[in-house]
């Protein structure tokens, strides 16, 4: 269609002049863009604002979406036009006038004089705010996504799991809340989740331990599996103190660190916080104050746990073979009634009922083959304790100590004193009767029976009476030699009570021997870690702590005191010291007392 | 100008505040390792975490506050300076809080978002420090609106003169003006892409069709070639004036295009900085809440 556009402009003299321009277009476009048929600038005018269409029967103005226009004082988006109608847009005024001949439409345009031409910028998108980029939109999107992924969906999963509802795999769940991987031993707790499409609602997930939201993990959750761990303080002892109770497991045992080394808090301050002061918390429970392990008396002297024999000593009574067997069995069973006793290292004495001199056995001049520590003491697989020393394992090996009193006689049974007496009597009775089966068995052996270099040497005066009387005397003399305090047989190593009774069978009572297996049952000490100490190794390393070379008596306690440890250790990092923590030696959870008696079982 | 002194504001007062805050945080961090291994769960970790969360909230509030020019509490330069330095300190505080323990979890997400927000902030700081001078030089002192006013005037003059020339010239110049593109989409603005087009007269290369008119060179070349071929002196004079106007128009368009490009870069970082900050605040809430949901 042919369009006449009449621009009314005020000339320099103020008189309005009309400038006509003709255009050929299907529609008359309005807007601030340069390609509009009628270019109108201004804040309220869009680049492409509206179109006047004359294609139909009537003239009509249609706005682009979201735009408005005022026709004859009324706002509208799509308005039919007739000659004489006034259109207002952003201060500009347009009027539909009667088209002169040859024109289909005529529009009179009077531009606003107050609008700056700089408003032309609005015809273009010159700011990122006018693009699809949106701070608000992106903020909403990211915030919603973050909220759903980190909280919304996982929380829904938690409630579904707890109700026992299976949830689809692949959706974010409460594992997203885990601050780090569990230790491998705990991985099985959440392992079932790996099965696609299935989640065990019975607790094989985070809620296996985290039973309630916003509540710390409680001990029952731990004790579902760890049900055999003893508390630090015995319940009865706890009642004697003013302590509330042991802390929660999870206060010291922290998971989600990704490493087993961090599973237990090992810091000294945890122990010292309670144990620093012996009076305030422990009530009538006698607990020594400990402030640390450094030099300067922060840690009390050591106390050892020694086994003490019961007050009533067993008597050897064996008139008959049955009584004898019973007596020997009683001797062995009496070992179980030994009681542990804690004593300061400074004053403690061993009471093993064994006569033994370490100094003598380590002196090459006094033993045929020079002995070392390891000849008798071999470490247990735990590296901490030693295989118990026994007659068979340690004394009789290498032919050192044979229990033979005559080269023709069988060896005496060890640990059965009553039976030993019968063996002696039997031997001499057979010898007196000229038993041809009695032949020297041990002549070639180097016997080292104490103070009897020659086993053939008679120990009694020659007997002139009947053979059986002489045999009885000979046997009694040998039994006395073995057991009497002045003798030198069994009594060389064993403490024997001599009642002086006339009946030789009821006269002697051999005190049972029990060696301490674990001097510190509640603490760790790995001997294996101490086999090399600075420049010491082998026996020298052992002897640096244990004064065996000067120990003449078995009552000597060769356990060093804390001062020895402090030569090499401290609780604070130091250049020439190995740092120790409380838990390096002490177990927070009590170890079983069974260890203490283990030695007895093996002797 | 705001940008000139934000780092040196009052003898870099906030730099010293930041360094002090970081030193205190490092000191606090170094006291860990006794009772529990270093991490967010120790009392030092909780303290660092609380400090970090407070800094995040304060920085977010500051981001809004410093844009409120009606505020009388402090200067915009002061707020910006504090925002920049404390934002940088936040990375240190957050790292110490995390103790370097990362994983695929909500906690590391909060840390990653913190780093992303600070990183986009650093990009913003770079643009604030370097682009305003370039913008100012490009605009030769005036505002952008002045350039558009000039462009509008040149458009009108160009149309008027072109209307007096022959139809081919008129069509070409008119379409070049109508089809001059400025700004546009995100990448048009950021890359300064010129999508201007022009209809060249029949018979010429690309005749009668829209062809690319990048930097208005096509229309200038077209009209300039016509100057030598003009028959009448009057027409020659008109064409020369037209070429002059088109060249002036080209210069103005170059300035405007560069202005749009620089302004876009000056603002682009905010389209990441702000949404990431909002996401960070949500992640931070999730981080804190989940810590206490399972603890």
Which stretch of DSSP H or E encloses residue B282? Answer: helix B270-293
Q: Take residue B70 and report the two structure tokens written for it.
A: 């009606």
Task: Count how many domains chain B has.
Answer: 2
Residue pointed to by tokens 């995390």: B98
Task: Count how many domains chain A has.
Answer: 4
| CB pair distance less than 8 Å for A35 and B179 | yes
Q: How far apart are CA A44 and CA A164, in angstroms?
A: 61
Other Cβ atoms less than 10 A from the Cβ of A413: the count is 14
Set of chain B residues whose Cβ sits within 8 Å of the Cβ of A147: 282, 286
Is A190 inside any structural domain?
yes
Task: Find the helix packing angle between B233-268 and B167-178, rounded to 10°.
Answer: 10
A141 half-sphere exposure, CB direction, 13 A CA radius = 10
Spans of chain A, pLDDT less than 70: 189-204, 258-262, 278-280, 313-318, 440-461, 591-603
Tell whether B17 and B135 lie within a shared domain.
Answer: yes
Q: Is B17 on the interface with A (CB under 8 A)?
A: no
* pLDDT confidence bin for B103, thresholds 50/70/90: confident
Tell whether A228 and A158 lie within a shared domain.
Answer: yes
The predicted structure's pLDDT at residue B67: 63
Distances (CA, A) of A583 to A248, A431, A590: 18, 64, 12
Question: Please, what's the largest Cα pairwise distance for chain A?
Answer: 179
Q: Return the bridge partners of A74, or none.
A: A71
Class of residue A587 by CB neighbours under 10 A (exposed 0-12, middle 13-18, buried 19+) = middle
Distances (CA, A) of A181 to A64, A149, A206, A320, A518: 58, 19, 12, 72, 39
Is B2 inside any structural domain?
no
Tell whether A166 and A194 lie within a shared domain.
Answer: yes
Q: Take residue A477 and report the two structure tokens written for it.
A: 């003399």
Is A331 inside any structural domain?
no
Query: Would you give the DSSP letter of residue A175?
Result: G
User: Which of these three, A459, A492, A525, is where a domain ends?
Assistant: A492
Closest chain A residue to the Cα of B185, Cα to Cα: A131
The predicted structure's pLDDT at residue A465: 80
Domain that holds residue A435: 402-492
The predicted structure's pLDDT at residue B207: 52
Tell whether B170 and B204 lie within a shared domain.
Answer: yes
Tell whether B36 and B84 lie within a shared domain.
Answer: yes
Tell whether A11 and A62 lie within a shared domain.
Answer: yes
CB B102 within 8 A of CB B111: yes
Tell whether A520 and A455 lie within a shared domain.
Answer: no
Tell whether A155 and A216 lie within a shared domain.
Answer: yes
Report CA dihedral (A31, A34, A38, A44) to the nearest 10 degrees: 30
Residue B93 has pLDDT above 80, yes or no: yes
Q: Take residue A316 and report the two structure tokens written for it.
A: 């050897």
Rounded to a whole number of angstroms, the CA Rg of chain B reads 29
Nearest beta carbon to residue B153 from set A117, A129, A140: A117
pTM: 0.74
Tell whether B17 and B131 lie within a shared domain.
Answer: yes
Which stretch of DSSP H or E encloses residue B56? Answer: helix B43-65
User: Which of these three, A461, A492, A523, is where a domain ends?
Assistant: A492
Set of chain B residues whose Cβ sits within 8 Å of the Cβ of A206: 294
Is B5 inside any structural domain?
no
Is B3 inside any structural domain?
no
The larger pLDDT score, comparing residue B79 to residue B190, is at: B190
The predicted structure's pLDDT at residue A326: 84
Q: Take residue A454 and report the two structure tokens written for it.
A: 């020659």
Q: How far apart are CA A159 and CA A205, in angstroms?
A: 12
Class of residue A576 by CB neighbours under 10 A (exposed 0-12, middle 13-18, buried 19+) = exposed
Is A502 inside any structural domain?
no
Query: Would you give the DSSP letter of residue A152?
Result: I
Tell whether B271 and B249 lie within a shared domain.
Answer: no
Q: Is B46 on the interface with A (CB under 8 A)?
A: no
Is A327 inside any structural domain?
no
Q: Which of B180, B220, B189, B210 is nearest to A120 (CA)?
A: B180
Tell whether B81 and B224 lie within a shared domain.
Answer: no
Q: Is B194 on the interface with A (CB under 8 A)?
A: no
* Residues in CB range of A396: below 8 A, 6 or more apart: A402, A403, A414
Residue B66 has pLDDT above 70, yes or no: no
Tell whether A86 and A170 lie within a shared domain.
Answer: no
Tens-place pLDDT, residues B172-221: 999 999 999 999 999 999 999 999 999 887 554 545 678 899 999 999 99
Q: How far apart are CA A385 and CA A523, in angstroms?
A: 12
Q: How far apart are CA A549 and CA A546, in angstroms?
A: 8
Tell whether B135 and B17 lie within a shared domain.
Answer: yes
Residue B230 has pLDDT above 90, yes or no: no
Is A115 inside any structural domain?
yes
Tell whether A416 and A533 lie within a shared domain.
Answer: no
| CB pair distance less than 8 Å for B104 and A176 | yes
Q: Is B100 on the interface with A (CB under 8 A)?
A: no
Q: Is A141 on the interface with B (CB under 8 A)?
A: yes
Class of residue B36 by CB neighbours under 10 A (exposed 0-12, middle 13-18, buried 19+) = buried
Mean pLDDT score of chain B, rounded to an integer? 87
Task: Give the three-class secondary structure for A391.
Answer: helix
Closest chain A residue to the Cα of B277, Cα to Cα: A139
Tell me whether strands A69-71 and B210-212 are parallel, antiparallel or unpaired: unpaired
Is B1 inside any structural domain?
no
Tell whether B248 and B273 lie within a shared domain.
Answer: no
CB A147 within 8 A of CB B282: yes
Tell whether B36 and B91 lie within a shared domain.
Answer: yes
Q: Is A120 on the interface with B (CB under 8 A)?
A: yes
| CB pair distance less than 8 Å for A176 and B283 | no
Tell whether A146 and A228 lie within a shared domain.
Answer: yes
Domain that holds residue B175: 144-262
Q: How far apart are CA A558 and CA A552, in angstroms?
A: 11
The predicted structure's pLDDT at residue A160: 85
The predicted structure's pLDDT at residue A71: 93
Tell whether B114 and B254 lie within a shared domain.
Answer: no
User: Which of these three, A110, A127, A144, is where a domain ends?
Assistant: A127
Measured in degrees and rounded to the nearest 5, phi and psi for residue A7 equal -90, 125
Is A285 inside any structural domain?
no
CA B202 to chain centre: 42
The alpha carbon of residue B233 is apart from the nearest alpha carbon of chain A, in Å, by 26
Is A334 inside any structural domain?
no
Task: Give the three-class secondary structure for A1.
Answer: coil
Is A181 inside any structural domain?
yes
Tens-place pLDDT, residues B130-171: 888 889 899 887 888 999 999 999 999 999 999 888 888 888
Q: Take residue B62 and report the two structure tokens written for it.
A: 């500051």
Q: How far apart are CA B86 and CA B51, in angstroms?
A: 11
User: Is 0.90 exceeded by the ipTM?
Assistant: no
CB A67 within 8 A of CB A41: no
């Amino acid at each position: 269609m042919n369009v006449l556009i009449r621009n009314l402009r005020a000339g320099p003299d103020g008189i309005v002049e009309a400038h006509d321009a003709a255009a050929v277009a299907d529609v008359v476009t309005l807007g601030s863009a340069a390609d509009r048929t009628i270019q109108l600038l201004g804040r309220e005018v869009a680049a492409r604002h509206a179109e006047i269409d004359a294609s139909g029967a009537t003239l009509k103005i249609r706005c682009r979406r979201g735009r408005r226009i005022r026709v004859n004082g009324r706002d509208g988006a799509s308005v039919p036009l007739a000659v004489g109608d006034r259109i207002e847009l952003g201060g500009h005024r347009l009027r539909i006038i009667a088209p002169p001949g040859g024109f289909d439409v005529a529009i009179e345009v009077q531009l606003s004089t107050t609008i700056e031409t700089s408003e032309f910028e609005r015809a273009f998108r010159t700011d990122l705010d006018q693009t699809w980029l949106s701070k608000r939109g992106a903020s909403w999107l990211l915030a919603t996504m973050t909220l759903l992924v980190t909280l919304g969906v996982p929380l829904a999963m938690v409630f579904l799991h707890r109700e026992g509802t299976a949830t689809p795999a692949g959706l974010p769940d409460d594992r997203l809340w885990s601050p780090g991987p569990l230790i491998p031993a705990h991985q099985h707790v959440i392992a079932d989740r790996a099965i696609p499409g299935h989640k065990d609602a019975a607790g094989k997930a985070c809620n296996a331990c985290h039973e309630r939201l916003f509540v710390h993990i409680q001990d029952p959750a731990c004790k579902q599996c760890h049900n055999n761990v003893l508390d630090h303080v015995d319940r009865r002892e706890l009642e004697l103190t003013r302590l509330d109770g042991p802390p929660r497991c999870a206060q010291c045992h922290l998971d989600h660190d990704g490493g087993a080394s961090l599973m237990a808090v090992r810091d000294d301050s945890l122990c010292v916080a309670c144990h620093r002061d012996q009076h305030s918390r422990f009530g009538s429970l006698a607990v020594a104050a400990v402030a640390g392990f450094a030099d300067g008396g922060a840690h009390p002297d050591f106390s050892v746990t020694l086994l003490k024999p019961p007050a009533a000593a067993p008597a050897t009574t064996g008139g008959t073979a049955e009584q004898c067997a019973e007596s020997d069995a009683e001797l062995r069973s009496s070992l179980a009634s030994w009681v542990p006793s804690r004593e300061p290292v400074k004053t403690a004495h061993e009471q093993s009922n064994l006569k033994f001199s370490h100094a003598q056995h380590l002196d090459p001049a006094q033993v045929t083959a020079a002995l070392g520590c390891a000849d008798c003491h071999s470490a247990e697989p735990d590296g901490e304790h030693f295989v118990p020393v026994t007659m068979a394992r340690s004394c009789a090996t290498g032919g050192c100590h044979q229990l033979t009193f005559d080269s023709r006689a069988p060896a005496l049974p060890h640990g059965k004193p009553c039976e030993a007496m019968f063996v002696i009597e039997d031997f001499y009775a057979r010898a007196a009767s000229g038993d041809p089966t009695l032949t020297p068995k041990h002549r070639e052996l180097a016997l080292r029976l104490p103070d009897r270099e020659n086993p053939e040497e008679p120990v009694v005066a020659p007997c002139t009476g009947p053979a059986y009387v002489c045999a009885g005397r000979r046997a009694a003399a040998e039994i006395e030699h073995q057991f009497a305090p002045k003798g030198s047989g069994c009594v060389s190593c064993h403490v024997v009570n001599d009642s002086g009774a006339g009946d030789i069978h009821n006269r002697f009572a051999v005190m049972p021997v029990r060696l301490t297996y674990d001097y510190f049952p509640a603490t760790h000490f790995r001997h294996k870690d101490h086999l090399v100490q600075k420049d010491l190794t082998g026996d020298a390393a052992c002897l640096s702590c244990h004064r065996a070379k000067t120990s003449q008596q078995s009552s000597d306690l060769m356990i060093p005191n804390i001062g020895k440890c402090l030569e090499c250790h401290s609780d604070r990092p130091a250049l020439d010291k190995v740092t120790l923590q409380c838990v390096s030696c002490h177990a927070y959870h009590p170890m079983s007392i069974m260890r203490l008696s283990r030695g007895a079982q093996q002797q | 100008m705001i940008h000139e002194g934000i780092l040196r504001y009052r003898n870099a007062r906030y730099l010293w505040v930041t360094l002090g805050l970081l030193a205190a945080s490092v000191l606090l961090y170094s006291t860990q390792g006794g009772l529990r291994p270093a991490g967010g769960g120790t009392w030092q970790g909780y303290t660092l975490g609380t400090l970090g969360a407070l800094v995040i909230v304060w920085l977010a509030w500051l981001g809004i506050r410093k844009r409120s020019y009606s505020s009388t509490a402090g200067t915009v330069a002061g707020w910006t300076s504090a925002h920049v330095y404390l934002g940088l300190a936040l990375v240190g505080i957050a790292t110490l809080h995390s103790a370097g323990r990362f994983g695929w979890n909500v906690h590391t997400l909060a840390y990653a978002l913190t780093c992303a927000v600070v990183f986009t902030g650093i990009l913003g700081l770079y643009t604030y420090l370097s682009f305003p001078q370039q913008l100012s030089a490009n605009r030769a002192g005036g505002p952008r609106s002045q350039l558009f006013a000039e462009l509008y005037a040149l458009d009108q003059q160009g149309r008027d003169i072109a209307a007096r020339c022959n139809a081919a010239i008129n069509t070409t110049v008119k379409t070049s003006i109508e089809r001059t593109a400025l700004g546009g989409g995100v990448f048009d603005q950021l890359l300064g892409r010129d999508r201007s087009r022009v209809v060249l007269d029949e018979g010429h290369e690309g005749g009668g069709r829209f062809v690319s008119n990048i930097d208005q060179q096509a229309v200038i070349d077209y009209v300039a070639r016509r100057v030598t071929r003009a028959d009448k002196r009057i027409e020659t004079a008109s064409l020369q004036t037209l070429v002059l106007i088109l060249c002036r128009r080209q210069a103005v368009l170059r300035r405007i295009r560069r202005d749009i490009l620089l302004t876009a870069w000056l603002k682009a970082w905010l389209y990441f900085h702000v949404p990431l900050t909002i996401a960070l605040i949500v992640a931070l809430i999730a981080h804190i809440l989940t810590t206490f949901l399972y603890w």
